[in-house]
Structure 1
Amino acid sequence: MILNIPLAWLQLSRQTSRFLVALAGIAFIAVLMFMQIGFQDALYVSATKLHNNLQGDLFLISAQYKSLTSNQSFSRWRLYQALGFEGVESVSPLYMQFAKLKNRINGLKFPMYVIGIDPVKSVFTMSDVQEKLKLLQIPNMVLFDRASRPEFGAIAKEFEQGKSVKVEIFGYLAFVGYKVQVGGLFSLGPSFGVDGNLIVSTSTFLAIFPDRPVQNIDIGIIKLKPDANPQKVLANLSAKLPKDVKVVTRQEFIKMEKDYWTLRTPIGFMFYLMVFMAFFVGVVVIYQILYSNISSHLAEYATLKAMGFKDKYLLIVVFQQALILGTLGYIPGFAISICLYDIAKNMTQLPVAMNIQKAILVLISAILMCLVSGFLSTNKLRNLDPADIF
């Protein structure tokens, strides 16, 4: 087995240019897989960032709920009903709706996600929101997401320079904008469905959206008493509250959002399709490389077979070549992907980042591609008859 490794390596490296082209092809496939998996992971992380930053144990949502970016309101009286159940310590309503924020430089309007909260009690775990919560008690004062996409203008930069920043927000059916003052910044970031975020008080939210009924909320946040059993309270609420709402845990809430983007939107399907296509193309590319290498060394393989070497020996050589190609091609693909991740993160403001899970997943995929290609390319060796060559 030890002697097989030099033979596999020598056959690959004999023609340096062909070997380098083969590694470049495999590196390209690795980059494709990294980018697809990276953007898919960014989709899920960005779409559920708000869920992970809400301060609650259980969440009350409409029975028609699909995702955060789809308005499915319900009566806030359902939330107050939940407050009367054993084990519930407090409840908080959350209002959410898209508006359009006017860029003060070019006058263009871009979609902005507006989140209305009670300014007395924070519903976020983000420290930069908790520290500035009292500012929202001032009428028409808002917190602006510094990680929003750049089309909204240099709002965060101007605020950090100490300038007074006022912006104009338009409800989707409004022809006249509502002017608010930026009182502070926070960091949440955009997603595939949201370009930027504003946090406002409930009263400011209702002033921005005057047609929005005050009794209609989008999410109810339920905080339990320290000694309460979450599953018992969940079962009790689910059984006794009207069926126009449902109660979920944070994990269920996050799963619903992921399932929406995976199963109900084209983008989720496209990510899975592109990963599969990259894997398929990788198998074809590596197969062509190995098959070409076998064909160019067919006489040597036939000689070895005539000398008494078994098919198993020859097949191991080919599989080792496949593993060498996959491993060496993965390394530059990994390095290039790290650079591309940084570029994509800066350009899109999405959480595109490398981690150990992605690195291992693509490495395993690259090795699996090579093994599949190696198996397919050895058919010619298995049927090789030295008498036909000589």
Structure 2
Amino acid sequence: MISFALKILLSNRGKLITALTGVIFSLVLVNVQGGLYLGLIHKASLLVDHTDADIWVGKHLVENVDLANDIPVEWLNRIRGLEGVALADPYIVQPSIATLPDGGFETLMIIGIDPLSKIGAAWNVDEGGETYVYRPDSITIDRLDARKLGYAQIGDIVEISGHRAKITGFTDGVIGFMTTPYVFTNIDSARQYAQIREGYCSYFLIQAADGVNLNELSEEIRHLVPSANVYTAAQFRKISQDYWMHRTGIGISFGMATVLGLLVGLLMVAQSLYALALDHVNDFATLKAIGAENGQILQVVLVQSCTIAVVGTLIGMGIVWVAETYCSTPLAPIEIPMILRVAGIGLVATICLVASVLPFQRLRRIDPAIVLQG
């Protein structure tokens, strides 16, 4: 039966290619769409993921790491006195406006770091080092954002909120969800650029001592500063990601596109298998005439479906690898974890099995007597 199934499948290359296209299309869509979704959502918590802080303390009702309000630095004195706190430093995340040489404007996200802090610094710094932390009026931007500031180079001067800012370094791939350029500088310069009052900041970054329970330490901090929101890094990561997912409907749009793609793939595979069955009705009738049972007919259809699934999966996963390797960028990252790959393959296998139901229902009703007609 296996040989018979493969011969029928290979007898019509056009329908075989159509079915394979459906499988490949579905597999690539699920993985690439899912990878883009995960990549974009992870951008929403980029700062949380790269500061090495265990706990974030911010203004009451803060919903997103990029949308902060001022809190008084004096609260830090209470927090630093707690036994489980190893480090506690101020951190600024505030928007500002840069005036470009051509007279245009560009919105920036100012990131201010305490020069003495060991957490919160820029990452992936590929040119210029981290001297921006120690030099006043020095900034580091991402290389991809340089064009937004007039294709700025190391040593160029820009104006931010009426203050001088010298570009002393570049990062590589540090692009947030809103695509507003992240500008890293020391905390004093950040207050000038973001027009924050002296003695205020956006967050406190807390690093706990070894072995300390983060939830218990968070609760202690809440008692000390009841006017603030206190989150572990994992909690704040989820809050920041959920904010954009719910406010923008990005999950619904990606989900609907994926579902429609799966339906298209299902229809393509089902139509191809059904057309193959109709083209070989007499062959299946002959099998029944010589004693083949419905179980054997089902075996033929399943072998065809599984063959299409396996071949389509191999080709599709190759295309997925190419897309992830060569098409992923910091602006549109494609992150495909193993669980997504496995889920995609499982969905494609399910599609092929479901698609085999339609031709089997047609074949099981064939009357063997038709081989004697005509």
Under a length normalisation based on structure 1, what TM-score does the superposition of the two structures give?
Answer: 0.84
Shift of 1:54: 0.8
Shift of 1:35: 2.2
Partner of 1:64: 61
Please list the CA deviations of residues 214-257 of structure 1 after superposition, one character each: whole Å capped at 9, or x if unmatched: 4553322112223533333233334x145442322222222222
Q: Which residue identity lines up with residue 186 of structure 1 in the other structure?
A: T
Q: Which residue identity lines up with residue 89 of structure 1 in the other structure?
A: A
Q: Does 1:201 align with 2:192?
A: no
Residue of structure 2 aligned with 1:111, choices 104, 107, 112? 107
Please list the CA deviations of residues 286-315 of structure 1 after superposition, one character each: whole Å capped at 9, or x if unmatched: 111111111212222222223222212211
Matched ranges for 1:76-87 at <5 A: 76-87=73-84
Partner of 2:327: helix, strand, or coil?
Answer: helix
Distance in 2 (CA, whole Å) between partners of 1:378 and 1:108 is 66
Distance 1:243 1:271, change over 3 A: farther
Distance 1:46 1:11, change over 3 A: same
Matched ranges for 1:306-325 at <5 A: 306-325=289-308
Matched ranges for 1:47-196 at <5 A: 47-104=44-101, 107-124=103-120, 132-148=129-145, 150-155=147-152, 158-159=153-154, 164-170=155-161, 177-196=162-181
Under a length normalisation based on structure 2, what TM-score does the superposition of the two structures give?
Answer: 0.87
Q: Is the 8 A contact 2:84 2:217 kept in 1?
A: yes
Partner of 2:356: 374
Distance in 1 (CA, whole Å) between partners of 2:123 and 2:65 is 22
Distance in 2 (CA, whole Å) between partners of 1:321 and 1:190 is 46
Distance in 2 (CA, whole Å) between partners of 1:72 and 1:307 is 80
Distance in 2 (CA, whole Å) between partners of 1:116 and 1:203 is 7
Residue of structure 2 aligned with 1:273, choices 251, 256, 264? 256
Shift of 1:140: 0.9
Q: Which residue identity lines up with residue 5 of structure 1 in the other structure?
A: I
RMSD: 2.8
Shift of 1:279: 1.5
Q: Is the 8 A contact 2:61 2:229 kept in 1?
A: no
Q: Is the 8 A contact 2:58 2:68 kept in 1?
A: no
Distance 1:224 1:356, change over 3 A: closer
Partner of 1:226: helix, strand, or coil?
Answer: coil
Distance in 2 (CA, whole Å) between partners of 1:279 and 1:358 is 15
Shift of 1:195: 3.7
Partner of 2:202: 218
Q: Which residue identity lines up with residue 202 of structure 1 in the other structure?
A: I
Question: Unaligned regions of 5+ residues in structure 1, if any?
Answer: 171-176
Partner of 1:359: 341
Partner of 1:232: 216
Distance in 2 (CA, whole Å) between partners of 1:72 and 1:361 is 40
Partner of 1:173: none
Question: Unaligned regions of 5+ residues in structure 2, if any?
Answer: none
Distance 1:228 1:339, change over 3 A: closer
Partner of 2:282: 299
Residue of structure 2 aligned with 1:252, choices 210, 235, 244? 235
Distance 1:225 1:30, change over 3 A: closer
Residue of structure 2 aligned with 1:24, choices 17, 21, 24? 21
Q: Is the 8 A contact 2:12 2:276 kept in 1?
A: no
Please list the CA deviations of residues 82-130 of structure 1 after superposition, one character each: whole Å capped at 9, or x if unmatched: 22333123311211122334454x5543332211121221323656669
Distance 1:226 1:266, change over 3 A: same
Q: Which residue identity lines up with residue 342 of structure 2 in the other structure?
A: I
Partner of 2:145: helix, strand, or coil?
Answer: coil
Partner of 1:174: none
Q: Does 1:332 align with 2:315?
A: yes
Distance 1:319 1:236, change over 3 A: same
Partner of 1:12: helix, strand, or coil?
Answer: helix
Q: Does 1:37 align with 2:34?
A: yes
Partner of 1:168: helix, strand, or coil?
Answer: strand
Distance 1:103 1:300, change over 3 A: farther
Q: Is the 8 A contact 1:55 1:124 kept in 2?
A: yes
Distance in 2 (CA, whole Å) between partners of 1:277 and 1:126 is 40
Please, which moves more after superposition, 331-340 or 364-373?
331-340
Distance 1:371 1:333, change over 3 A: same
Q: Is the 8 A contact 1:12 1:321 kept in 2?
A: yes
